[in-house]
């Protein structure tokens, strides 16, 4: 009986010792896994920090580039005060006024002469109107180019446009002057012809 009890106790002790050994082994494995998880977490945290740092660097660089680009574009909306002093601008305004005045004077002279037909007067009016419309469009574009905030252009580009517009306006002024000279020459010839006809009639009646 005592032998059986001793054997049973020995078996129980062995079993308990085996169980404790298993628990120690499991605890060891759990500690190793925990250490691995901590290492992984540390690496993930380090990688995330690197990613955030890189993103912030890219973001800051992009923002700086955007601000630089934006400042450049905003600068293109400004108009240099020096450009507004370009003699061509004043010349264009003077030419516009001259065209308007000369066209009105020419048409009034032709109408009052009484030697032109209605069709000829309409043709002359159309010619003058076309010249005036071209100059008016050029002057409108000039105002747009010289108004800050309207167009994004460098000072050089604005100066080039002003020069081109001035050339067009002076060309139209020359066209009107040529037209006026032609009609004045025709007017003089017709008035002379009218006087000659009147003189001939008087001479005929006198006879």
DSSP string, 81-148: TTGGG-HHHHHHHHHHHHHHHHHHHHHHHHHHHS-S-HHHHHHHHHHHHHHHHHHHHHHHHHHHHHST
What are residue 149's phi and psi, to 5 degrees? 85, -5
Residue 186: exposure state from Cβ atoms within 10 A (0-12, 13-18, ≥19)? middle
User: Are residue 97 and residue 189 in the same domain, yes or no?
Assistant: yes
Q: Rounded mean pLDDT of 44-73?
A: 58
Higher pLDDT among residues 165 and 73, named by residue = 165
Q: How confident is the model at residue 102 (pLDDT cuts 50, 70, 90)?
A: very high
Q: What is the number of domains present in the chain?
A: 2
Grouping H, G, I as helix, E, B as strand and the rest as coil, residue 79 is coil
**Residue 194: predicted pLDDT:** 83
> Are the C-beta atoms of 74 and 149 separated by less than 8 Å?
no
Tokens representing 62?
């992009």
Q: Is the predicted pLDDT of residue 29 greater than 60, yes or no?
A: yes
Higher pLDDT among residues 49 and 52, named by residue = 49
> Are the C-beta atoms of 106 and 124 separated by less than 8 Å?
yes
- Residues of the domain holding 188: 80-206
Q: Rounded mean pLDDT of 142-162?
A: 90
**Residue 151: predicted pLDDT:** 85
Q: Rounded mean pLDDT of 185-189?
A: 92
User: Are residue 152 and residue 57 in the same domain, yes or no?
Assistant: no
User: Are residue 14 and residue 37 in the same domain, yes or no?
Assistant: yes
Q: Rounded mean pLDDT of 88-112?
A: 95
Q: How confident is the model at residue 6 (pLDDT cuts 50, 70, 90)?
A: low
**What gap in Å lies between CA 65 and CA 71, rounded to an integer?**
10
Residues 6+ apart with CB under 8 A from 4: none
> Are the C-beta atoms of 73 and 145 separated by less than 8 Å?
no
> Are the C-beta atoms of 172 and 99 separated by less than 8 Å?
yes
User: Are residue 27 and residue 71 in the same domain, yes or no?
Assistant: yes
**What is the residue-averaged pLDDT of the chain?**
80
User: Are residue 4 and residue 87 in the same domain, yes or no?
Assistant: no
Out of 40-49, 61-70, 93-102, pick the least confident: 61-70
Q: How confident is the model at residue 201 (pLDDT cuts 50, 70, 90)?
A: confident
**Residue 16: predicted pLDDT:** 55
> Are the C-beta atoms of 95 and 170 separated by less than 8 Å?
yes
Tokens representing 33?
């896994």
User: Are residue 107 and residue 51 in the same domain, yes or no?
Assistant: no
Q: What is the pLDDT of residues 114-125, one digit of tens each?
A: 999 999 999 999
Domain boundary pick from 48, 76, 104: 76
**What gap in Å lies between CA 154 and CA 80, rounded to an integer?**
9
User: Are residue 19 and residue 109 in the same domain, yes or no?
Assistant: no
User: Are residue 139 and residue 184 in the same domain, yes or no?
Assistant: yes
Out of 17-26, 56-65, 81-90, 109-118, pick the least confident: 56-65
Percent of the chain beyond pLDDT 70? Answer: 63
Out of 100-104, 164-168, 201-205, pick the least confident: 201-205
């Amino acid at each position: 009986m005592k032998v059986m009890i001793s054997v049973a106790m020995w078996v129980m002790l062995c079993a308990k010792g085996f169980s404790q050994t298993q628990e120690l082994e499991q605890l060891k494995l759990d500690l190793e896994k925990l250490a691995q998880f901590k290492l992984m977490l540390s690496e993930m945290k380090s990688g995330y920090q690197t990613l955030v740092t890189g993103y912030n660097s890219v973001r800051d660089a992009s923002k700086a580039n955007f601000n630089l680009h934006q400042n450049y574009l905003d600068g293109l909306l400004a108009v240099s005060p020096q450009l507004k002093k370009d003699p061509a601008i004043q010349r264009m305004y003077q030419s516009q006024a001259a065209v308007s005045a000369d066209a009105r004077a020419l048409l009034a002279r032709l109408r009052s002469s009484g030697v032109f037909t209605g069709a000829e007067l309409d043709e002359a009016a159309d010619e003058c109107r076309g010249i005036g419309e071209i100059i008016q469009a050029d002057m409108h574009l000039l105002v747009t180019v010289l108004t800050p905030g309207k167009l994004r252009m460098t000072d050089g580009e604005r100066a080039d446009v002003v020069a081109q517009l001035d050339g067009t306006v002076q060309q139209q002024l020359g066209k009107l002057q040529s037209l006026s000279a032609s009609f004045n020459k025709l007017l003089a010839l017709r008035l002379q012809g009218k006087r000659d006809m009147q003189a001939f009639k008087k001479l005929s009646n006198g006879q």
